[in-house]
Structure 1
Amino acid sequence: MKKTILLPHLLMGFYALLVAGSFHVGHRITMYMPPLVLTFVRFMLATLLFGCYVGLRYGLHPPSWRDMLRYLVISATLVGYFWALFASLRHTSALNTSMIYTLTPLYSTLFGLFFLGEKPSAGRVGWLVLAMLGALWVIAGGSSDRLLALSLNPWDFVFMAGCALMGLFSPLSKKLSRGEPTAVMTFRTLAAGSFLLFLLSWKELGSTDFTHWPPPLVWGLLYLVVCTTILTFFIVQYASLRMEVGKVMGYVYLTPVFALAIGLMLGHSFSMNVLPGVLVATLCTFFLQRS
């Protein structure tokens, strides 16, 4: 019983680590391919690879039109988030988007209340807010000046809407589940997302050179496809069926901490001023899960 309860938490901690690594990987490969095309290729390859596993394990059976609509709705939250991210990054800073992304667990908690009736306690909301503040402090590099200098433009509000869609992903996965295996749900969500991304990126696909893939792009795509598409989508959907969605996305606040640790291993330096934020984000995420 304890193992069953503990496993989703361990997986979500692993999720935060994988997402943190994607920031470093993504930064290195976006120069090789347009962002929307990169996202389509990422989804498509993940669909093909994970489809092999699902086919061997469960068999590939076409869903009904009603079921396909469920997967399209779930995947639309991810596609909308990625579109908002790439569109806003053309007009705003990575610092702004990183800080705005910390709203995602709050959105998940709100949608969990609205769609699932998961009413959070005042203590849980408090831990969530404190964890968010700790993560913001880490993202800002331990500088109050950088926090206070944050100014928002219209595209930042577009990304806020995108984060709301990402916050909706976990509650919708739980709400629209019909008892199918998590792997099957993940595969069909990826397939539906690939279809939607194709509709959005087909013009850019025609002008993209797919004949020359330098090694950094190949290895980077391999990481994004396996680690931060197949595994992360599976983990979130698996955990969402076994935990309250506010707690699931609360692990987002460990991502800046892991990103900092990975940066250190890569030889990057950081200000000691971030340590209070690391401590607050880590402890408050722990107490959030226990609340």
Structure 2
Amino acid sequence: MNDLLKSHLMVLLATFFIAGSFLASARLAGVINPFSLTLMRFVASFVLLLPLVLSRRDWRRKIVTVLPRATVISFFYAMFFACLFEALKTTTSLNTGTLYTLVPFMTALLCLVFLRQPIGGQTFLIYILGAASACWVIFEGQLDRLLAFSLNQGDWLFLGGSLLICGYSLSMKLLYRRSDPMPVLVFCILFTGALWMGTALLVLGYPLDWHNIHGEHLAAMSYLVVASTLMTVYLYQRSTVVLGPRRVMAYIYLNPAAIAVLLWWFEGVKIPTIVLPGIVACSLATVLLQREPRS
């Protein structure tokens, strides 16, 4: 198997891990407050990553220099997950997963405004295709709902969370250094993200309530920690070296299709026929973006 095909398979697997995280998060939403859920996820993740980071002397030395920049990056990252958990109380995993496909388009617009990075005409049209397809899925192909723009409360909250993940991408562009080892950067983001969530809990006076996480809830949290956090970091890192960041990000448009497949496979949920064209069009956006040159 050549490196190109292997990298595509790795990022496809990571895409399904991310899609599964929306389903797992939906099971956890409402069990305890979103700040405590996010804190638990980050603490478990950085504890598992700690032995790896400490195993190398050069990585240990990098923690001090990476930590201040990671503190800024992690604010957007942590708040995104808090918004996700809160949003899933009043919306569906398919809706959040579809809204998530708007992130590349919103990120490109913010890069244009703040970093003066132009968007190619072909790329812009593909982003429009992805955004329009996402709207088709969200509004279930109903023009009256689109014209009324009747997003529910959870959709609006996650839309705000999507802006936060755009802020995460921008801060990564501005603060990431090529000399930063990826495991160290991820560890520092998880560690400082936990600090942000701990601070939020103290300020708001929310209890931890971690004792409520047991049984299937514990299994869902374990999935978020191992599969959608640690394993996806590894898969994205390896595949980005070969494919480039733009091609890897293009797989985000497969989210609605991946979530639909997982809902059908694990929960027996049938996706309304009317939203299938939108899911297919989102997937087409991924294919079209693969034709762009590596960057």
> TM class, shorter-chain normalised?
0.7 to 0.9
C-alpha separation in 2, matches of 1:6 and 1:112 = 30
How many residue pairs align between the two structures? Answer: 288
* Paired letter, 1:24: L
Which stretch of the first structure deviates more once superposed, 98-107 or 230-239? 230-239
Q: CA deviation at 1:116?
A: 6.4
Identity %: 30
Indicate the SS of the match to 1:61. Answer: helix
Which stretch of the first structure deviates more once superposed, 235-244 or 107-116? 235-244
- Conserved 8 A contact 1:108-1:249: no
Q: CA deviation at 1:229?
A: 2.0
Q: Which residue of 1 aligns with 2:290?
A: 289
Q: Which residue of 1 aligns with 2:45?
A: 46
Q: Does 1:232 align with 2:217?
A: no
C-alpha separation in 1, matches of 2:159 and 2:268 = 32
C-alpha separation in 1, matches of 2:279 and 2:61 = 46
The 5-angstrom pairing of residues 1-291 of structure 1 reads 3=3, 9-56=8-55, 61=60, 63=62, 66-86=65-85, 93-94=91-92, 100-113=99-112, 118-151=117-150, 159-175=158-174, 176-202=176-202, 207-211=207-211, 213-235=213-235, 247-265=247-265, 266-291=267-292
Aligned-pair Cα RMSD in Å: 3.4
Which stretch of the first structure deviates more once superposed, 70-79 or 272-281? 272-281
C-alpha separation in 2, matches of 1:211 and 1:157 = 30
- Conserved 8 A contact 1:186-1:237: no
Q: 1:10 to 1:57 in 2, by over 3 A?
A: farther
Which stretch of the first structure deviates more once superposed, 227-236 or 33-42? 227-236
Indicate the SS of the match to 1:290. Answer: coil
Q: CA deviation at 1:14?
A: 2.6
- Conserved 8 A contact 2:36-2:201: yes
Unpaired segments ≥5 residues, structure 2: none
Indicate the SS of the match to 1:252. Answer: helix
C-alpha separation in 2, matches of 1:110 and 1:238 = 27
C-alpha separation in 1, matches of 2:73 and 2:160 = 16
Q: CA deviation at 1:25?
A: 1.6
CA deviation vs aligned residue, 1:141-191 (integer Å, no higher than 9, x gap):
444454444336999766544322202323433442242222221112111
Which stretch of the first structure deviates more once superposed, 279-288 or 151-160? 151-160
* Paired letter, 1:179: S
Unpaired segments ≥5 residues, structure 1: none
Q: 1:206 to 1:157 in 2, by over 3 A?
A: closer
C-alpha separation in 1, matches of 2:27 and 2:60 = 38
C-alpha separation in 1, matches of 2:6 and 2:220 = 28
Q: CA deviation at 1:16?
A: 2.3
- Conserved 8 A contact 1:96-1:156: yes
Indicate the SS of the match to 1:103. Answer: helix
- Conserved 8 A contact 1:46-1:230: yes
- Conserved 8 A contact 2:22-2:97: no
Q: CA deviation at 1:262?
A: 0.9
C-alpha separation in 1, matches of 2:81 and 2:53 = 25
